[in-house]
Structure 1
């Protein structure tokens, strides 16, 4: 091996050991390696510059593993930025909060960490503490004025708590005036999330707080979701709270037919007395309705097989040749991206699209630009454009979880729920700790089961 290559390999190995020492809490080794890596810029600057491929530095790794003593050295001795962001816009506090490291999270906030800073997907430490049911950290964050209505791509902290069946977290958030009817861009509410999670305690708390039991998301009501899952307790609770069993989805399907399509005899019997008769069904009995829906399901399955064989080509991407990009072009792309970021913050999505398009023209290899433009298209409801950008982003960066999230979000907007679930799941496999992807995957699966009337697609 040439001397230069050998030296570069040695540096890479030291960098990996350095980040591992931050993660494992080996402070003595971390200090030793920091001195060895310093090329004259000073230990603080050297340590701040050492990052992995996802732009995560020592502080991110230490926070993620709850290594408070390492965090103290990095923040108090080296004066590192407590709110430094990685490639996904996640701060050390977000990493600590997601893993449930309460003491480390408290320490970071005491050192000036801003609990309201979101990741690129909008999630804050409050979202994560709500999702995992970390009550101590949840209360602490709220006491430090964390925004209880902060919106991530997967909803508010209350939606996270309900969707992960965390009734204690739901109770606390409601006590802090979290809206029981907050919605995501896809009209998902805390109540819908609680029903999808099968959490009766969360559902009861939300109903008591005034949650709408007849909310509609993607054409489905909470009763549709409960009927699909087959949870009699939740169905009973919804009916007592005023859920209307005669609301049909956009395909004209009532909750009782959803249950019948799943073969849930008990649910069909529970809904039968409160559902108006459907004249097209010859035998208006539990057995008769189930027989009718099973016959319909077979017919739809045969049609679906015929259509799917001719539709796959439409999703294929043409092979892209990747041109070289000069440093001057990259600089201009960065300037255009900055304009796009500012426009996005103002919610001027069309201006942001124009700026990102200019940036892409200068640097077509940068998947981040396509991800950003895809999100803008979603905000404008232009799902096809969003999907096109997301697919190219995924091709450019197949190891980046966010590219799969963008693709799934566009497919979800197009109501291609099974495909969306597949995209989200691919992202989950890359980053199993990403709650946004996990939430999105589960919601897409539930929506797919409802709309397509087929067996839930099991992914292993």
Structure 2
């Protein structure tokens, strides 16, 4: 039994190394492992086509996701892999993976080889949705030129809703130039304008209003003005009012925008909305009176509602990271943690990679994968994850530690010491960071001394 388990683990590790070789473009290792994996003598092409990770992603998915066009050419032209639109567990094709990362050269190549430019995932997202969400105008225009429907629907709306929800004003403008519907709605009545307000993007909002977007649309009783009032966005409130937004619209709780602003303590918003709002039955109908009353009621309302407020239309929830995707991300993270405990770092990397694909804004996932790369001795990849982690959470001491650890593995001791020191500044009582900083400084001294002796 132990022998069988060891054999299975060895195979899983070899599969992960193989897929990682496709991702990094390491042809020599890729071909070597493909041969080793062809234990049944089916041939390299058949073996490569059959090898998948736990999410049914193959070498072509990984190569496309990282923009490894040459690897894609090898797979499709030399090995003659048949299905350029092969789908993973989420219904995503290699083209979708390439588009999500903005790899236009790879995307164009895949389409030239027959990939369906309008292919969608299980959630309905096409490559155009991803191009719009990241603001890649060249890719966006190319996909539309290939016949992709500018108003194609996904669970999170049209490409225009994605672009607006990510604050991609150039993409919003480009899509409207291609006659995208400025008032397209999701099943939950989310529109591009609502998404732009939830994202706090005044430029996108102004472009959409100019294109004829409805400023009084309602999603579950919540209007754009309610969202802006809750966020305290003065410029957006003024823009909406100028476009005809109704300050007297009530949400499902019977609250007007001025009351929502007061409950959040957004005095500036209250002052703008107060003179435009019809008199309400409150003990003191004044700016101060509304704020005092609403804040006293806020805690009661929160206790009554044991769920998040409907008006909390966060960008991540309304645009791309659905609740189902978040659930899958947490499941993949759990698999990664279990694999790490078993010291199966390759399997852990695979699980964390799946989790990151589903929820790219979770810095913890990048931190965990960085540690796995360190345990595997892959310093460059550990450093890339650590830097991405710090970009998401610049004030997180652990992110500094991860970056320092990767730099130390690369023998860049001075840079490592700087990273550790930045972490110490954030958390002076963190003994692990303090010790790591001292060790990096000492290691740097010894390293330079050795180099001087050699010369």
* Counterparts in 2 of 1:126 and 1:436: CA distance versus 1, 3 Å: farther
Whole-Å separation in 1 of the counterparts to 2:250 and 2:301? 19
Measured after TM superposition, the shift of residue 146 of structure 1 is 1.2
1:181: which partner in 2? 183
Whole-Å separation in 2 of the counterparts to 1:25 and 1:153? 34
1:278-297 matches, cutoff 5 A? 278=280, 280-297=281-298
Whole-Å separation in 1 of the counterparts to 2:56 and 2:244? 50
Measured after TM superposition, the shift of residue 172 of structure 1 is 0.6
Measured after TM superposition, the shift of residue 85 of structure 1 is 0.4
Decide whether the 8 Å contact of 1:127 with 1:160 is kept in 2: yes
Whole-Å separation in 2 of the counterparts to 1:157 and 1:43? 39
1:31-42 matches, cutoff 5 A? 31-38=31-38, 39-42=40-43
Matched, 1:56 2:57: yes
Matched, 1:9 2:13: no
Whole-Å separation in 1 of the counterparts to 2:360 and 2:148? 19
Matched, 1:271 2:273: yes
Matched, 1:131 2:133: yes
1:260: which partner in 2? 262
Query: What whole-Å deviation, never above 9, does each CA across 1:320-340 have from its counterpart, x for those lacking one?
Result: xxxxxxxxxxxxxxxxxxxxx
2:432: which partner in 1? none
1:434: which partner in 2? 358
Decide whether the 8 Å contact of 1:93 with 1:113 is kept in 2: yes
Matched, 1:162 2:164: yes
Decide whether the 8 Å contact of 1:154 with 1:436 is kept in 2: no
Decide whether the 8 Å contact of 2:164 with 2:204 is kept in 1: yes
1:368: which partner in 2? none
- The worse-fitting range, judged by mean Cα deviation, of 30-39 and 41-50 is 30-39
Measured after TM superposition, the shift of residue 41 of structure 1 is 1.2
Query: What whole-Å deviation, never above 9, does each CA across 1:220-276 have from its counterpart, x for those lacking one?
Result: 011000001110111101101111101111221000000000111110011112111
Matched, 1:399 2:401: no
Measured after TM superposition, the shift of residue 300 of structure 1 is 3.0
Measured after TM superposition, the shift of residue 107 of structure 1 is 1.1
Measured after TM superposition, the shift of residue 3 of structure 1 is 5.0
How many residue pairs were aligned? 327
- The worse-fitting range, judged by mean Cα deviation, of 190-199 and 136-145 is 136-145
1:22: which partner in 2? 22
1:97: which partner in 2? 99
Equivalent position SS for 2:85: coil
TM-score (norm 1): 0.67
* Counterparts in 2 of 1:131 and 1:55: CA distance versus 1, 3 Å: same
Gaps of 5+ in 1: 312-386, 402-427, 439-459
Measured after TM superposition, the shift of residue 176 of structure 1 is 0.8
1:240: which partner in 2? 242
* Counterparts in 2 of 1:236 and 1:432: CA distance versus 1, 3 Å: farther
1:207: which partner in 2? 209
1:362: which partner in 2? none
Equivalent position SS for 2:109: helix
Whole-Å separation in 1 of the counterparts to 2:17 and 2:353? 25
Equivalent position SS for 1:51: coil
Decide whether the 8 Å contact of 2:55 with 2:354 is kept in 1: no
* Counterparts in 2 of 1:430 and 1:35: CA distance versus 1, 3 Å: closer
* Counterparts in 2 of 1:189 and 1:95: CA distance versus 1, 3 Å: same
Measured after TM superposition, the shift of residue 31 of structure 1 is 1.3
Gaps of 5+ in 2: 308-322, 334-351, 363-395, 397-455
Measured after TM superposition, the shift of residue 299 of structure 1 is 3.2
1:73: which partner in 2? 74
Measured after TM superposition, the shift of residue 142 of structure 1 is 1.0
What RMSD in Å do the two structures reach over aligned CA positions? 2.7
Whole-Å separation in 2 of the counterparts to 1:199 and 1:2? 58
Decide whether the 8 Å contact of 1:223 with 1:255 is kept in 2: yes
* Counterparts in 2 of 1:436 and 1:220: CA distance versus 1, 3 Å: farther
TM-score (norm 2): 0.68
Whole-Å separation in 1 of the counterparts to 2:165 and 2:113? 32
Match of 1:222 among 221, 224, 231: 224
Measured after TM superposition, the shift of residue 434 of structure 1 is 3.4
Decide whether the 8 Å contact of 1:84 with 1:91 is kept in 2: yes
Measured after TM superposition, the shift of residue 103 of structure 1 is 1.1
* Counterparts in 2 of 1:429 and 1:262: CA distance versus 1, 3 Å: farther
Larger Rg: 2
Measured after TM superposition, the shift of residue 155 of structure 1 is 0.6
Decide whether the 8 Å contact of 1:399 with 1:430 is kept in 2: no
Query: What whole-Å deviation, never above 9, does each CA across 1:108-129 have from its counterpart, x for those lacking one?
Result: 1111111111111111111111
* Counterparts in 2 of 1:429 and 1:208: CA distance versus 1, 3 Å: farther
* Counterparts in 2 of 1:265 and 1:429: CA distance versus 1, 3 Å: farther
* Counterparts in 2 of 1:258 and 1:134: CA distance versus 1, 3 Å: same
Measured after TM superposition, the shift of residue 296 of structure 1 is 1.3
1:323-334 matches, cutoff 5 A? none
Equivalent position SS for 2:331: coil
Equivalent position SS for 1:431: helix
Equivalent position SS for 1:399: helix
2:421: which partner in 1? none
